[in-house]
């Protein structure tokens, strides 16, 4: 099928008013300190859906305009050592590399066709990733290019967004270059990017504070008074690799570890003891976060419109099957999340697709694809007192948080 290039123009900043006057240092503080009346929300890859490509400037902008405080975002390393903001190891699903190179475009529903790896391509220069357009969740090619991490930080600076980022490194080798690339960048308020870009690193990479603190870039931060915000990610997948509880306890003694991501799959499953430890007051990490997994083609994708060719794949009539959701896989057809859970759950179900369950576990911050909806719901439950994160002397902007959004959405999808 012929890709359609949708014109896309950033609206002037004055046209919208729902952005909150957050202080990024207070947002970091909200990661450290639990509050009964606040669940911190991180928009997963920005606020995507409805024609906004994931990990795009637009998705960041929308998250900020919806009054959100945090964006979780993905970073890869390219062959020339740059930092493209891409989630998958391949470029097929989220860019137009197929069309640009004259190859059959990758189809995430079948896992077939052209899906070259980010690490095999340069970011800059001829054929570079920077020349690729982003695709939205329905497969339409947008008039927006793949950004790099420093370009994203500049965009945050220039548009005056008050958000923190959770950097999800898809490649361990991207971590150090990210630090150097961010070292002299700030947000508009002048706060160094390395203090509000949270280094959310797989715990298996640096299992102890000694290993982490020996890194040259961490030493550089210490020597220059840069207050790093570190979050180790603990996952049942590492169960056999090392003692995760011991690791958590050690990191808890450091002042740069602001929280822990604890990817529990079911109550009583592996790493339950880590989550308990953050709640029982025995260690100084007192908060934990996780990922809400609603699936990759869930609502608002429930209509059957997709620009990807579904010739060899039938979209399921019910997107939630056996209480589980479908997720994309690199070079394979989508599968139900539960089919991936293995022995990480006590009963074969991955409970992370149930937001109520996540709240019952008393998670303090949540990465979610539907942050806008969760903001509304949590507010009605008294769990979105964002005052904790508002800059001194400023007030919470009330009301029409999503109005601009809806107008924009209606216009974007016109004539589809
Ligand atoms: C997408 O559209 C749906 C339905 O029109 C709306 O409820 C939802 O809030 C929108 N989400 C985003 C992120 O724009
Ligand atoms: C990346 O750039 C370098 C330097 O310009 C060049 O030698 C190399 O061939 C490029 N690699 C790819 C995959 O284009
Ligand atoms: C941690 O403590 C060191 C030494 O007291 C200090 O220099 C640094 O700024 C602190 N870092 C954070 C993130 O508070
Ligand atoms: C509290 O944590 C320490 C290590 O930080 C550990 O040795 C001790 O067993 C823990 N106590 C309880 C009751 O979990
Ligand atoms: C779904 O597709 C059918 C035909 O393929 C079409 O008639 C119907 O209007 C579509 N529904 C939506 C909600 O787009
Ligand atoms: C569907 O399968 C047929 C036969 O294997 C193949 O020729 C065709 O390219 C496939 N279409 C897609 C969209 O994958
Ligand atoms: C849902 O569960 C039933 C019973 O275990 C099983 O037969 C069926 O294949 C499952 N559906 C999917 C899509 O996995
Ligand atoms: C869980 O499964 C993995 C591989 O499937 C295996 O390596 C590991 O030992 C299992 N863990 C437990 C606690 O059974
Ligand atoms: C919200 O939090 C602030 C502290 O930042 C507190 O002073 C205020 O009372 C809280 N609001 C409500 C409605 O509880």
Sketch the domain layout of the chain as residue ranges: 13-414
Question: Which residues sit with their C-beta closer than 6 Å to ligand 9?
Answer: 37, 385, 387-388
Whether 30 shows a pLDDT value over 50: the answer reads yes
What are the tens digits of pLDDT across the range 62-93?
A: 999 889 999 999 999 999 999 999 999 999 99
Closest of 203, 278, 265, 266 to residue 234, by C-alpha: 203
- What percentage of the chain has pLDDT greater than the value 70? 90
Residue with tokens 């008050």: 162
The ligand with the least distance to the CA atom of 230 is 3
What are the tens digits of pLDDT across the range 309-345?
A: 888 888 888 888 999 999 999 999 999 999 999 999 9
Residue to mutate, 237, 238, 240, 243, ligand 8, most ligand atoms under 8 Å from C-beta: 240
Cβ-contact 133, 142 below 8 angstroms: yes
Q: Give nearest CA residue, ligand 2 atom 8.
A: 122
Q: What share of the chain is helix, strand, coil (3-state, %, to 5)?
A: 30, 20, 50
Q: Establish whether residue 282 lines the binding site of ligand 4, counting it when its CB lies within 6 angstroms of any ligand atom.
A: yes
CATH superfamily assigned to domain 13-414: Phosphatidylinositol (PI) phosphodiesterase (3.20.20.190)
Q: Give nearest CA residue, ligand 7 atom 10.
A: 322
For residue 280, what are the contacts with CB-CB under 8 A and spacing of at least 6? Answer: none
For residue 175, what are the contacts with CB-CB under 8 A and spacing of at least 6? Answer: 169, 199, 201, 205, 217
- pLDDT value of position 18: 73
Buried (b) or exposed (e) across 298-336, using 16+ Cβ within 10 A?
beebeeeebbbbeeebebeeebeeeebbbbbeeeeebeb
pLDDT range class, residue 299, cuts 50, 70, 90: low
State mean pLDDT over 264-282.
Answer: 97
Please indicate whether residue 119 or residue 305 has the higher confidence score (pLDDT). Answer: 119
Provide the whole-model pTM. Answer: 0.91
The pLDDT mean for the chain works out to: 90
Q: Establish whether residue 337 lines the binding site of ligand 7, counting it when its CB lies within 6 angstroms of any ligand atom.
A: no
- What percentage of the chain has pLDDT greater than the value 90? 80
DSSP 8-state assignment for residue 38:
B
């Amino acid at each position: 099928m012929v890709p359609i290039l949708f014109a896309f123009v950033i609206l002037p900043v004055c046209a919208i008013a729902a952005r909150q006057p957050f202080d990024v240092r207070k947002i970091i503080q909200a990661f450290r300190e639990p509050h009964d009346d606040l669940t911190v929300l991180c928009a997963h890859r920005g606020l995507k859906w409805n024609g906004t490509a994931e990990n795009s400037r637009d998705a960041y902008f929308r998250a900020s305009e919806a009054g959100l405080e945090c964006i979780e975002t993905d970073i890869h390393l390219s062959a020339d050592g740059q930092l493209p903001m891409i989630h998958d190891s391949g470029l097929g699903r989220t860019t137009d590399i197929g069309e640009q190179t004259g190859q059959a475009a990758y189809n995430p529903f079948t896992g077939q066709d052209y899906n070259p790896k980010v690490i095999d391509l340069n970011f800059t220069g001829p054929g570079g990733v920077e020349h690729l357009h982003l695709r939205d969740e329905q497969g339409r090619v947008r008039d927006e290019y793949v950004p790099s991490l420093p370009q994203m930080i500049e965009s945050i600076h220039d548009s005056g967004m008050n958000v923190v980022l959770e950097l999800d490194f898809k490649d361990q080798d991207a971590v150090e270059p990210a630090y150097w690339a961010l070292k002299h960048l700030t947000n508009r308020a002048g706060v160094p990017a390395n203090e509000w870009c949270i280094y959310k690193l797989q715990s298996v990479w640096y299992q102890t504070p000694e290993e982490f603190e020996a890194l040259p870039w961490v030493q550089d931060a210490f020597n220059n008074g840069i207050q790093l915000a570190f979050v180790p990610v603990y996952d049942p997948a590492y169960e056999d690799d090392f003692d995760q509880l011991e690791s958590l306890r050690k990191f808890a003694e450091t002042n740069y570890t602001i929280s822990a991501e604890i990817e529990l799959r079911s109550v009583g499953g592996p790493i339950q003891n880590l989550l308990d430890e953050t709640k029982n007051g025995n260690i100084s990490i007192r908060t934990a976060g996780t990922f809400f997994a609603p699936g990759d083609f869930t609502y608002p994708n429930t209509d059957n419109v997709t620009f990807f060719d579904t010739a060899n794949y039938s979209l399921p009539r019910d997107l939630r099957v056996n209480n589980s959701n479908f997720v994309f896989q690199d070079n394979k057809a989508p599968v139900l999340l539960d089919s991936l859970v293995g022995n990480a759950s006590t009963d074969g179900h991955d409970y992370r697709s149930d937001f109520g369950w996540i709240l019952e576990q008393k998670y303090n911050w949540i990465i979610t694809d539907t942050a806008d909806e969760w903001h509304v719901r949590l507010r009605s439950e008294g769990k979105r007192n964002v005052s904790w994160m508002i800059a001194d002397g400023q007030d919470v902007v009330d009301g029409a948080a999503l109005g601009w959004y809806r107008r924009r959405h209606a216009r974007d999808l016109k004539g589809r």
